[in-house]
């Protein structure tokens, strides 16, 4: 996307929406977090007040489905922010291409920065108790998100996805694995998961990639949940299983250990206490998270190594793929 063209289109949109005298300033790509077509900008009102925003664009010329259907996030975020959950407000969004040449959403920019669990920004205090506090807030905020009354606010937004469909979705992604060993181990884990599919449990909003790298913290306080591309309606234990997987050192290669500061079981207990209910079959849901993460990593390693989407992060991540599949098998057996 031509940044000059985008800037001019956005300038016209800002003038039309924010009124006479409003000015666009500082449009630039946002690099942290590998967030795709995401840009930061500010609007200076006629009275001089400046407000920061985030612009997310759908990729041009790509079918609008799943994480490429950027506009589908708009009603979700509007409903969540209206309910005072830590999600960004959406003052502008469009499902067509008339304004910016592709569908988009504009969100308020919340204070803080994400906690990248493997390589946190230098501004974070990495003392174990400080890191544990971040994860504890993450678990508590997830419980609040899961308690949201989606049937009243988003009853027509999306249909719940059954666990059988969720499991099947990842098979063609795993098939892109550039390593035959990864492919065999991943398929073995998928078979084990399919043989023991539990009851879905609580159904509602799921984020889809809920972990500290998609949360904002400002001076140690959680201020926002971002990157909702994979959100949907489904078994909410999917989110908790994903968070547990991220926090579990046994899911990760020795050279790629996350900063956690709290035990995996204690983290799950924090969520359950905040939610006021136990979560059944959490080992299975974490095993599914291991399978999903392994499949995603297989695809991204292939894209990187073939030069189609270069990102050296995935070469460093690669040794954990076998670890994820092995830990998943252990959890299913348990």
Q: Say if residues 131 and 116 touch (Cβ distance below 8 Å).
A: no
Q: Which pLDDT score is estimated for 19?
A: 86
Residues 271 and 162 in one domain: yes
Residues 11 and 157 in one domain: no
Residues 169 and 136 in one domain: yes
Task: Using the 3D structure, point to which of 58, 89, 108 is the last residue of a domain.
Answer: 108
Task: Using the 3D structure, point to which of 59, 80, 108 is the last residue of a domain.
Answer: 108
Q: Which pLDDT score is estimated for 10?
A: 95
Mean pLDDT value across residues 253-268: 97
Give pLDDT tens digits for 202-212: 999 999 999 99
Structure tokens given for 109:
């920019």
Residues 251 and 307 in one domain: yes
Residues 119 and 249 in one domain: yes
Residues 205 and 322 in one domain: yes
Give pLDDT tens digits for 58-83: 988 777 776 778 999 999 999 999 99
Residues 137 and 82 in one domain: no
Residues 38 and 144 in one domain: no
Residues 325 and 287 in one domain: yes
Residues 100 and 213 in one domain: no
Task: Using the 3D structure, point to which of 86, 108, 130 is the last residue of a domain.
Answer: 108
Is a pLDDT exceeding 60 seen at residue 34? no
Identify which of 141, 200, 175 has the alpha carbon closest to the alpha carbon of residue 296. Answer: 175
Mean pLDDT value across residues 228-239: 96
The total number of structural domains in the chain stands at 2
**Residue 334 vs residues 262, 263, 280, 286: alpha-carbon distances, Å:** 22, 18, 13, 12
Give pLDDT tens digits for 244-256: 999 999 999 999 9
Range of the domain at 159: 113-333
Residue 127 three-state SS = coil
Q: Say if residues 103 and 95 touch (Cβ distance below 8 Å).
A: yes
Q: Which CATH number does the domain housing residue 283 bear?
A: 3.90.1200.10
Burial of residue 6 (CB within 10 Å: 0-12, 13-18, 19+) is buried
User: The whole model's pTM is what?
Assistant: 0.94
- 308 contacts: CB under 8 Å, gap ≥ 6: none
Share of the chain above pLDDT 70, in %: 97
Structure tokens given for 107:
């969100």
Residue 28 three-state SS = strand
Residues 103 and 155 in one domain: no
Q: Which CATH number does the domain housing residue 71 bear?
A: 3.30.200.20
Give the C-alpha separation, 251 to 269, whole Å. 19
**Residue 267 vs residues 75, 82, 106, 121, 278: alpha-carbon distances, Å:** 30, 28, 33, 22, 13
Give pLDDT tens digits for 76-108: 999 999 999 999 999 999 999 999 999 999 999
Residues 267 and 134 in one domain: yes
């Amino acid at each position: 996307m031509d940044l000059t063209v985008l800037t001019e289109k956005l300038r016209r949109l800002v003038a039309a929406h924010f009124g006479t005298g409003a000015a666009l300033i500082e449009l630039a790509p946002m690099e942290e977090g590998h967030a795709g077509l995401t840009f930061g900008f500010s609007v200076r009102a006629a009275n001089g007040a400046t407000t920061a925003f985030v612009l997310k664009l759908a990729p041009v010329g790509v079918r609008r489905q799943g994480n490429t259907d950027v506009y589908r996030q708009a009603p979700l975020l509007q409903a969540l922010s209206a309910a005072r959950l830590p999600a960004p407000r959406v003052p502008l969004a469009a499902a067509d291409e008339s304004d910016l040449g592709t569908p988009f959403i504009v969100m308020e920019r919340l204070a803080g920065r994400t906690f990248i669990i493997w390589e946190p920004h230098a501004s974070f205090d990495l003392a174990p108790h400080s890191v544990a506090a971040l994860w504890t807030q993450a678990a508590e905020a997830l419980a609040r998100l899961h308690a949201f009354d989606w049937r009243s606010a988003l009853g027509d937004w999306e249909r719940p996805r059954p666990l059988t469909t969720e499991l099947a979705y990842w098979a063609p992604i795993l098939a892109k694995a550039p390593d035959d060993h990864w492919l065999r181990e991943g398929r073995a884990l998928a078979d084990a998961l399919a043989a023991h599919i539990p009851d879905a449990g609580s159904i509602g909003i799921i984020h889809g990639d809920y972990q500290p790298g998609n949360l904002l913290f400002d001076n140690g306080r959680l201020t926002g949940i971002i990157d909702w591309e994979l959100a949907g309606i489904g078994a909410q234990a999917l989110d908790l299983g994903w968070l547990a997987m991220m926090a579990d050192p046994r899911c990760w290669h020795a050279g790629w250990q996350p900063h956690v500061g709290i035990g995996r079981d204690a983290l799950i207990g924090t969520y359950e206490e905040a939610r006021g209910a136990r979560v059944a079959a959490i080992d299975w849901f974490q095993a599914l998270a291991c399978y999903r993460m392994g499949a995603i990593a297989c695809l991204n390693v292939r894209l990187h190594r073939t030069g189609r989407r270069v990102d050296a992060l995935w070469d460093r991540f690669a040794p954990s793929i076998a670890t994820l599949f092995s830990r998943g098998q252990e959890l299913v057996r348990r």
